[in-house]
Amino acid sequence: MVNFSLEGKVALVTGATYGIGMAIATAFSEAGAKIYFNGRNPEHITEALAEYKSKGIDAEGGVCDVTDEKKVNEYVSEIIAKEGHLDILVNNAGIIKRIPMTEMSVEDFRQVIDIDLTAAFIVSKAVVPHMIKEGHGKIINICSMMSELGRETVSAYAAAKGGLKMLTRNIASEYGEYNIQCNGIGPGYIATPQTAPLRERQPDGSRHPFDSFIVSKTPAGRWGTTDDLQGPAVFLASDASNFVNGHILYVDGGILAYIGKQPK
Q: Using DSSP bridges, classify how beta strands 59-63 and 248-251 pair: parallel, antiparallel or unpaired.
A: unpaired
Task: Report helix, strand and coil shares of the chain as percent, to nearest 5.
Answer: 50, 15, 35
Does the annotation mark 75 as catalytic?
A: no
Q: Which of 52, 75, 157, 250 is catalytic?
A: 157
Grouping H, G, I as helix, E, B as strand and the rest as coil, residue 186 is strand
In sign, the C-alpha dihedral spanning 152, 155, 160, 165 is: positive
Give DSSP secondary structure letters for 15-63.
TTTSHHHHHHHHHHHHTT-EEEEEES-HHHHHHHHHHHHHTT--EEEEE
**How far apart are the C-alpha atoms of 183 and 137, rounded to whole Å?**
11
Residues with active-site annotation = 157
